[in-house]
Amino acid sequence: MSAVRTLDESAPPATTGVDDFGGKSTGRALTDQLARVVMWAAFVIALIPLVWILGTTVLKGGQMLLDASWWGNSQSGITARRVGGGAVHAIQGTLIQAFVTALISVPIGVLTAVYLVEYGRGRLAKTVSFMVDILTGIPSIVAALFIYAVWVVTFGFQRIGFAVCLALTMLMIPTVVRSTEEMLKLVPNELREASYALGVPKWKTIMKIVIPTSFSGIVTGVLLGLARVMGETAPLIILGPYTKVIATNLFDGLMATLPTMIYQEYSENLQPAVDRVWGAALTLILIIFLLNILGRFVGRFSKVRN
């Protein structure tokens, strides 16, 4: 190549040393730069709605949360035209229902994951795994309709808080199964073998070695799963109508929750009610974020890592 160049005197001299390596054509370099810009832009675009929503909610709802009555009172006796009242009835309801949901779905979810990782083989395990996937994909409204079809239509029971918990359980089980499964798989087989070699039976190995080793990871999964179902509104609208007063009995009467409070106040379409929508939304987001942060924090203590 260079020999040719010296012979042909009309050819311009090479301008940079890079050309001798075949260089990077400007087109390729441009495409590369363009791709870099696009990726950064995508990230910034993704952040816009997050910042916007959080900003709006804090600006419009923050004031409500600074009022002590928000944390101390219910909406009992407060009409949509009037300001005031609090969200304590809805906060309580949301927390109670979340707690009972976790109480039902964690044992089922963890045991299912134990089955899939430690016991399951062959067709049945494949079927269970497939069904967990399907359950993951079931829309919350379908879960709610199913519970409605069983609870109200078939058995003729009332729409109560516990029915909501059942619907939420259906939505929470698959997240618990998947995250627990993932954590159990991260426990090295060597630990199981070490335990077996000490003459420890399998079930004790799982209970005392495998689950404790992956414990914080399982807790993280549960908290993230809980955070997810707490914001679900569809099952509440179908199964758990709103009430303005404090109610703590899951098995009798109506029970308020933050999502139904948002839905109710939204449908009033008056300024004091709209303010309460933002207040309730901010409260709900704060609870969910707290759970998320707590979950990630617990996850840092994980004994197993990739």
Partner 1 sequence: MSSITGHSAIDELPTSDGRPPLEADRAGTGRLGDRIFGGLATGAGLLVVALVSLVGVFLVVQAVPSLLNNNANFLTSREWVASGAEPRFGIVDLLWATIVTSVIAMLIAVPLGVAVALFITQYAPPWLTRSAATLVDLLAAVPSIVYGFWGLTVAGQYFEPFAEVVDRVLGWLPVFEYTGTPSAKSTLAFAGLILAIMILPIVTAISREVFAQVPTTHKEGALALGATKWEMIRVAVLPFGKPGIISAAMLGLGRALGETLAVTLLLSALNTSSAFSFSIFGGGETFASRIANDAGEFDSAQKTGAYIAAGLVLFILTFIVNAAARVVIERRKAFTE
Partner 2 sequence: MAKRIDVKDLDIYYGDFKAVEGVSLTVEPRSVTAFIGPSGCGKSTVLRTLNRMHEVIPGGRVEGKVTLDDQDLYASSMDPVAVRRTVGMVFQRPNPFPTMSIRDNVAAGLRLNGVKNKKKLDEVVERSLKGANLWNEVKDRLDKPGAGLSGGQQQRLCIARAIAVEPQVLLMDEPCSALDPISTLAIEDLINDLKSQYTIVIVTHNMQQAARVSDQTAFFNLKATGQPGRLVEVADTQKIFSNPTQKATEDYISGRFG
**Candidate list 199, 269, 300, 306; residue touching partner 2; CB under 8 A:** 199
Dist CA 102 CA 172 (whole Å): 8
List CB contacts of 121: < 8 A, sequence separation 6 or more.
Answer: none
Dist CA 109 CA 172 (whole Å): 8
List CB contacts of 81: < 8 A, sequence separation 6 or more.
Answer: 270, 272
Task: Give yes or no for residue 304 binding partner 2 (CB under 8 A).
Answer: yes
Best CA proximity match to 298, nearest among 233, 219, 211: 219
| Alpha helices (H) along the chain | 2-7, 26-66, 68-72, 88-114, 122-137, 140-147, 161-186, 189-197, 202-204, 211-213, 215-230, 234-239, 258-268, 271-299
- Name the segment binding partner 1 (CB under 8 A); options: 6-14, 80-88, 196-204, 247-255: 196-204
Dist CA 50 CA 229 (whole Å): 19
Residue 42 contacts which entry, partner 1, partner 2, none (Cβ below 5-8 A, type-dependent): partner 1
**Candidate list 5, 14, 18, 40; residue touching partner 1; CB under 8 A:** 40
Task: Give yes or no for residue 135 binding partner 1 (CB under 8 A).
Answer: yes
From the CB of 180, what's the least distance to partner 2, in Å?
Answer: 16
Residue 153 contacts which entry, partner 2, partner 1, none (Cβ below 5-8 A, type-dependent): partner 1
Residue 208 contacts which entry, partner 1, partner 2, none (Cβ below 5-8 A, type-dependent): partner 2
Task: Give yes or no for residue 39 binding partner 1 (CB under 8 A).
Answer: yes
Per CB under 8 A, which of residues 112..141 are in contact with partner 2? 121
From the CB of 188, what's the least distance to partner 1, in Å?
Answer: 8
**Candidate list 201, 248, 296, 297; residue touching partner 2; CB under 8 A:** 201
Amino acid, single-letter form, for residue 101? T
Contacts to partner 2 by CB under 8 A: 121, 188, 190-201, 204-205, 208-209, 212-213, 215, 303-304
